[in-house]
Amino acid sequence: MTVLAVRGVTKSFGGARALTDVSVEFQAGEVHALMGMNGAGKSTLVQILSGALTPDAGQLRIDGHELPHLTPRRARKAGISTVPQRRELVMSLTVAENIMLGDLPTRRSVVRWRSVRAAAQRALDDLGIAIDAGAVAGDLTVAEQTMVEVAREVRRGGRVLILDEPTACLGPEAAAQIRELVRRLRDTGVAIVFISHHISEVLHLADRITVLRDGRVTWAGPAAHTDEKGLVRDMVGRDVVSRRPIRPARSPEVGISIRQLCDGRFLDRFDIDVRRGEIVAVLGPAGDAQSRLFDLLSGRRRPDSGTVTVGGRPVRPGRIGHSLASGLRCVTGDRRRLGLIPGLSIDENVMLAQDRLDRRRMHRWGLLARRAAPLRDGYRVVSLVRNPPVEQLSGGNQQKVLLAKWLGTEPSAVLLEDPTNGVDVAAMAEIHSLVDELAGRGVAVLLASSSAEEVMRLADRIVVVRDGRRRTEHRADRITRDELIAATLGGAL
Ligand SMILES: Nc1ncnc2c1ncn2[C@@H]1O[C@H](COP(=O)(O)OP(=O)(O)OP(=O)(O)O)[C@@H](O)[C@H]1O
């Protein structure tokens, strides 16, 4: 049964078309995946469905009734809920408070906290989510926070649930938990709109797929009627090949050396050496250790103890300037919060890390554009209008701006945290080639990733961390992906 129907929707931004004549129907009890390259128009469509954007033409119908002048409030009332990429929980409140926010049961204007807790726990239990409603939201893992948001939306009566890349940046186990929840929701009759760049995930999970390219539907049908190759062609318009290159022998010189690094429960006497020209990955079930490595190596945070040397020279802990001066570049996995400056254009963001460009020269726009051009072209940053503020770019293109910003500075060593987060298959292959080239130029690359596939594609060696400790080390050419996942989960090899 069709719950939500989109007919002939078109949307432009300042004269540039983001969506053209898009029609799609979402059925109750079905997982419907939206796929497409970065900038294809998926988020624009989702924002139209959730009432955040008004289409220039076309209509939306719920249960056959037209929904004119949709606003976020009306969409929610009609049962259309969105769980966006960025978690929207109040981290200092409990899970129960977050779930019940805006709908707190009261008696004579006094909140009945016991009822709050009980109702929230019921909402979680009904969906088979094993989380204590009394826990503080900020203490949950990212996957658990996503589940809490799902429970909240379903409790509020969501019949069409839009999940925007809910498994991005999650390790294999957490991603599997989210998929399990999606299946349970589907079985209760919710219509699920699922956005993901992971093709195998979509092929396993989705009942139906709609592919967008340049704002138009290029393929739509049951998931069983297509395959990986077909999807890539429909999304990209050509085949995409991404293979491990044969890299030249690595230099014996050590690029980055980490010794006995300790930081709270995240890192416990952690050691690693990355030689110049080598790619070493740190992989673990939860991304905690990986993002803590980013904080420590970039100098944002001082470790409890331990040393880091780059090119044989010690780096003073807790000092961003020292980290940069050592030739180390750390590319964050959290581009929205730590990576890019909203309000500044693509060119300004790309050039921010170039030390030769001081503040005064930043305002010579012609020069800025000329110097930024090779980087934005090299990293294939695509936008509808020339040089917009960076927040107007699609997610994957923002990621490319972030990589261009740091990798354009000729580093001697890099830490890359989830470098292809939110990036489409074609851009992923391009970014992987760029990382290969970096290593080929003798840069020491430390890869902090949550994706076993990515690690298998890029790394020479893989170090598995669990509970902050280095557990096992593997050569990428001597292990299979499944063995690696078992190793991250602590299973026997
Ligand atoms: N507010 C805006 N102003 C101007 N252009 C915009 C705005 N929002 C989106 N766009 C443009 O519309 C196009 C479609 O973007 P959209 O975010 O829908 O892509 P997407 O398919 O979700 O991509 P991704 O996979 O990277 O998230 C992009 O070229 C983007 O730059």
Q: What is the percent of the chain with per-residue pLDDT over 70, rounded to a whole number?
A: 96
Q: Give the distance (Å) from ligand 1 centre to CA of residue 346.
A: 14
Determine the residue of 214, 392, 403, 425 to mutate for testing ligand 1's pocket, defined as the one with the most ligand atoms within 8 A of the Cβ atom. 392
Lowest-confidence region among 7-11, 416-420, 467-471: 467-471
Same domain, 336 and 467: yes
The single-letter DSSP state of residue 250 is P
Average pLDDT over residues 16-26: 94
Residue nearest to atom 24 of ligand 1 (CA): 38
Give CA 401 to chain center in angstroms.
15
What pLDDT score does 427 carry? 85
Same domain, 124 and 224: yes
Closest CA to 49 of 57, 40, 39, 59: 59
The single-letter DSSP state of residue 435 is H
Read off the pLDDT band of 493 (50, 70, 90). Answer: very low
The answer to whether residue 248 is domain-embedded is no
Residue nearest to atom 25 of ligand 1 (CA): 38
CA 122, CA 129: separation in Å to the nearest integer? Answer: 10
400 pLDDT exceeds 50? yes
The answer to whether residue 465 is domain-embedded is yes
Same domain, 200 and 280: no
Does residue 168 sit in helix, strand or coil?
A: coil
Residue nearest to atom 19 of ligand 1 (CA): 39
Helix 395-407 with 365-378: angle, nearest 10 deg: 110
Read off the pLDDT band of 356 (50, 70, 90). Answer: low
Q: Give the distance (Å) from ligand 1 centre to CA of residue 384.
A: 8
414-453: pLDDT as tens digits: 999 989 888 888 888 888 988 998 999 999 999 998 888 8
What pLDDT score does 113 carry? 74
Which of 236, 269, 298 represents a domain boundary (last residue)?
236
Same domain, 226 and 269: no
429-440: pLDDT as tens digits: 888 988 998 999
Per the prediction, the chain carries an average pLDDT of 88
462 pLDDT exceeds 90? yes
Same domain, 419 and 352: yes
Number of domain units in the chain:
2
Longest dimension (CA), the chain: 75
Read off the pLDDT band of 333 (50, 70, 90). Answer: confident
The single-letter DSSP state of residue 249 is P
CA 488, CA 472: separation in Å to the nearest integer? Answer: 9
Question: By residue range, what is the domain housing residue 272?
Answer: 254-488
Helix 142-155 with 113-126: angle, nearest 10 deg: 100
125 pLDDT exceeds 50? yes
Lowest-confidence region among 148-157, 351-360, 484-493: 351-360
Lowest-confidence region among 147-151, 250-254, 357-361: 357-361
The answer to whether residue 173 is domain-embedded is yes
Read off the pLDDT band of 351 (50, 70, 90). Answer: confident
216-255: pLDDT as tens digits: 999 999 999 999 999 999 998 877 777 777 777 777 889 9
Amino acid letter, residue 437: E
Q: Which two tokens stand for residue 40?
A: 């294809």
Residue nearest to atom 15 of ligand 1 (CA): 39
Q: Give the distance (Å) from ligand 1 centre to CA of residue 18.
A: 7
Q: Give the distance (Å) from ligand 1 centre to CA of residue 55.
A: 14
The answer to whether residue 493 is domain-embedded is no
Q: Give the distance (Å) from ligand 1 centre to CA of residue 72.
A: 19
What pLDDT score does 492 carry? 42
Which of 236, 270, 285 represents a domain boundary (last residue)?
236
Cα 372 to Cα 345, 391, 404, 431, 437, distances in angstroms: 11, 17, 9, 18, 20
What pLDDT score does 491 carry? 54
Phi, psi at residue 248, to the nearest 5°? Answer: -60, 160
Same domain, 220 and 312: no
Residue nearest to atom 17 of ligand 1 (CA): 394
Same domain, 298 and 415: yes
Same domain, 6 and 103: yes
What pLDDT score does 169 carry? 74
Q: Which atom of ligand 1 lies at the shortest distance from residue 215's CA?
A: 14
Q: Which atom of ligand 1 lies at the shortest distance from residue 38's CA?
A: 26
The answer to whether residue 36 is domain-embedded is yes
The two beta strands, 328-331 and 413-417, are parallel
Phi, psi at residue 15, to the nearest 5°? Answer: 90, -15
Q: Which atom of ligand 1 lies at the shortest distance from residue 47's CA?
A: 18
What pLDDT score does 206 carry? 97
Same domain, 297 and 375: yes
Q: Give the distance (Å) from ligand 1 centre to CA of residue 210.
A: 17
Same domain, 329 and 409: yes
Q: How many CB atoms lie within 10 A of CB 16?
A: 12
Amino acid letter, residue 44: T
CA 288, CA 309: separation in Å to the nearest integer? Answer: 22
Calculate the CA dihedral of residues 158, 164, 169, 172 and round it to 10 degrees. Answer: 60
Does residue 90 sit in helix, strand or coil?
A: coil
Q: How many CB atoms lie within 10 A of CB 53?
A: 18
Q: Give the distance (Å) from ligand 1 centre to CA of residue 38.
A: 8
CATH code of the domain containing 356:
3.40.50.300
Residue whose token pair is 């010189």: 253
ipTM, 2 dp:
0.94
Determine the residue of 13, 20, 402 to mutate for testing ligand 1's pocket, defined as the one with the most ligand atoms within 8 A of the Cβ atom. 13
Ligand 1, pocket residues at CB < 6 Å:
13, 18, 36, 38-44, 383-384, 388, 392-397, 424
Please, are residues 151 and 123 in contact by the beta-carbon 8 Å criterion?
yes
Average pLDDT over residues 208-212: 97
What pLDDT score does 361 carry? 53
Average pLDDT over residues 64-68: 88
Q: Give the distance (Å) from ligand 1 centre to CA of residue 16.
A: 11
Bridge partners (DSSP) of residue 329 are 414
Q: Which two tokens stand for residue 214?
A: 């340049």
Which of 189, 209, 236 represents a domain boundary (last residue)?
236
Same domain, 261 and 163: no
Q: What is the percent of the chain with per-residue pLDDT over 90, rounded to a whole number?
A: 47
Q: Which atom of ligand 1 lies at the shortest distance from residue 397's CA?
A: 26
Q: Which atom of ligand 1 lies at the shortest distance from residue 399's CA?
A: 26
Residue nearest to atom 12 of ligand 1 (CA): 18
Q: Give the distance (Å) from ligand 1 centre to CA of residue 431.
A: 20
The answer to whether residue 62 is domain-embedded is yes
Q: Give the distance (Å) from ligand 1 centre to CA of residue 164.
A: 14
The answer to whether residue 246 is domain-embedded is no
Average pLDDT over residues 468-478: 89
Lowest-confidence region among 121-130, 164-173, 222-231, 383-392: 164-173
Amino acid letter, residue 156: R
171 pLDDT exceeds 60? yes
Residue whose token pair is 């693509």: 346
Residue nearest to atom 7 of ligand 1 (CA): 392
Average pLDDT over residues 19-45: 95
355 pLDDT exceeds 70? no
Q: Give the distance (Å) from ligand 1 centre to CA of residue 437.
A: 29
Please, are residues 260 and 317 in contact by the beta-carbon 8 Å criterion?
no
Average pLDDT over residues 39-53: 93
Cα 414 to Cα 76, 136, 142, 417, 454, distances in angstroms: 44, 35, 25, 10, 16
What pLDDT score does 377 carry? 86
Q: Give the distance (Å) from ligand 1 centre to CA of residue 43.
A: 7
Average pLDDT over residues 198-219: 94
Does residue 23 sit in helix, strand or coil?
A: strand
Q: Which two tokens stand for residue 81?
A: 């809920």
Residue nearest to atom 1 of ligand 1 (CA): 392
Q: How many CB atoms lie within 10 A of CB 207?
A: 16
Please, are residues 455 and 282 in contact by the beta-carbon 8 Å criterion?
no
85-107: pLDDT as tens digits: 777 888 899 999 999 887 777 67
Q: Give the distance (Å) from ligand 1 centre to CA of residue 197.
A: 15
Residue whose token pair is 């980290």: 323
Same domain, 57 and 187: yes
Calculate the CA dihedral of residues 114, 117, 121, 124 and round it to 10 degrees. Answer: 150
Residue nearest to atom 31 of ligand 1 (CA): 393
The answer to whether residue 388 is domain-embedded is yes
